[in-house]
Amino acid sequence: MTVRATESAATEALEATGTADQVVTALVPLRGGPAGKSRLGVALGPDHRGRLVAHLARHVVDTLGATPGVGRVVVVTPDPEAAARDLEGTATTVEVVRQPTTVHGLNPALDHARGTLAGPSRLLVVHADLPGLTVEDVRALLGLSSPVVVATDRAGLGTNALLLAGAGRALELGFGAGSRRRHEAAAARRGLEATVVRRPGTGADLDTPADWAALPLAVRDQVEAQVPGTRSALEGPAPH
């Protein structure tokens, strides 16, 4: 992985990918380390959670980096040093925005990062815990022309990815429980069309043992290969 300071990388990214309005900037919030995935703490210890968080983040970042049309991948994190460790080995150049200690919570952190990103490019916010995310999932979002595109979670209630374009770039962010409706309402208040998308790769996050059980077998196999012991910890011992 190559890490760049956001301010110095912005011009280079625009020069490398063409005019500013053609660039899609992917923004990934990353808490990182064993502090992440606390709801899996009943089954996974801190070290195991830290390794899982790192694997999921690398998968999401490299999927974004491999998608045609994504010109920049930016991570916002309160701990850039931990993020660099988590993302070590990725094939993607990542720009890191430090979340100030005075900024608390996911939406304020994303707002802070959004304010540092120059240019009128489309902005794609993607959670860092989507183990089944594919290039096809990301391309499906980028192929939509709505100013607001909401990719829901498995239940159809939350938001795991949010694409903002044009006037949608200023949309009030409302990530958290029930965020789909908040994002749709925020778009309606601005008179903007919001398209809702449900796809397997964007819908399946990993926060709880129930989320793990709902993942396709192939995705669970891939996670287990990268973070050994996850299956037995979350599923229990195999029956004899």
- Residue located via tokens 């992985």: 1
145 is in an annotated binding site: no
Q: Whole-angstrom Cα distance, residue 41 to residue 209?
A: 10
Total length of the chain: 240
> Is residue 197 helix, strand or coil?
strand
Work out whether the CA dihedral 117, 121, 127, 132 comes out positive or negative: negative
Which residues make Cβ contacts (< 8 Å) with residue 70, sequence separation at least 6? Answer: 24, 25, 26, 64, 124, 138, 142
Helix 135-142 to helix 46-65 angle, to the nearest 10 degrees?
50
DSSP string over 67-121: STTEEEEEEEES-HHHHHHHTTT-SSEEEEEEPPTT--SHHHHHHHHHHH--SS-
Q: Within a 13 Å sphere around the CA of 141, how many CA atoms are in the beta-carbon half? A: 37
159 labelled ligand-binding: yes
Distance CA 119, CA 104 (A): 25
H/E element, 62: helix 46-65
Decide: residue 43, CB within 10 A, 0-12 exposed, 13-18 middle, 19+ buried. middle
Q: Determine whether the annotation assigns residue 115 to a binding site.
A: no
List the binding residues for phosphoenolpyruvate. 159, 176, 179
List the binding residues. 159, 176, 179
